[in-house]
Structure 1
């Protein structure tokens, strides 16, 4: 079983920073700057983090509990720049590679699956109209779909 204590400080920071950055990337993927959309997406992300505190995988649970104890030291403003998505993909790629190198394969797979689940829940938190006012609503916008595909590729190395 993988323990957070087996990683040095920088590695542990990477593993703990990545979920929050993935959350931000998923939030900006739809291109919306609406405070209501932001609130719904953050709420969906918070729900995933809370569920992870009771996760059946001990490693994911330990990450979620470490995040809870770490607190919210980052600003919680709407990340309005597109920079959040490339940063999320970069950290996801690095965290995934680190876990493939140093963690139990099952723990690595569950952690990366949890990150993808987090982004998917955030992306599907608000239905949007892709083609304008008269178009049908979709659960995941084209921008969110592309981000999720890129994230999955980054996580699978």
Structure 2
């Protein structure tokens, strides 16, 4: 292996390591801030999604918060018991159940957003004018690493 090829691999590995360290640091700080309010990072992410998009089916919530269905179901059950979210039938597809944020959930989300404001502010402060560019790079990386759906890979059938 040439020296330049080895160096490129090391730089890529270093970038992945740094990305993991940043994610762990930010996650830890957010969890600490939320723990003080009696919340978890997953609960905050769920309420943030629901407040932004309205009612969502469980699979959309699971994809957003990166949880498997069994763990998400238990968490949503606890959130229903705490009156943070409600289950509602989808008006368009009566077989489907949507999760919606409750009025109590909106109040909790406002508290949790305030609790995490310092961490989010530090993130933006460190990045400064590069925050939007960083967001665009992360989105491009995510899209590039997400496998295409099977239907997108297959060519249309000619009749």
Normalising TM by the smaller chain, what interval?
0.3 to 0.5
> What's the TM-score, normalizing by structure 1?
0.34
Could you say which structure has the greater relative contact order, defined with CA pairs below 8 angstroms and 6 or more residues apart? 1
Question: Higher strand proportion, which one?
Answer: 2
Larger radius of gyration: 2
Question: Higher helix proportion, which one?
Answer: 2
> What's the TM-score, normalizing by structure 2?
0.34
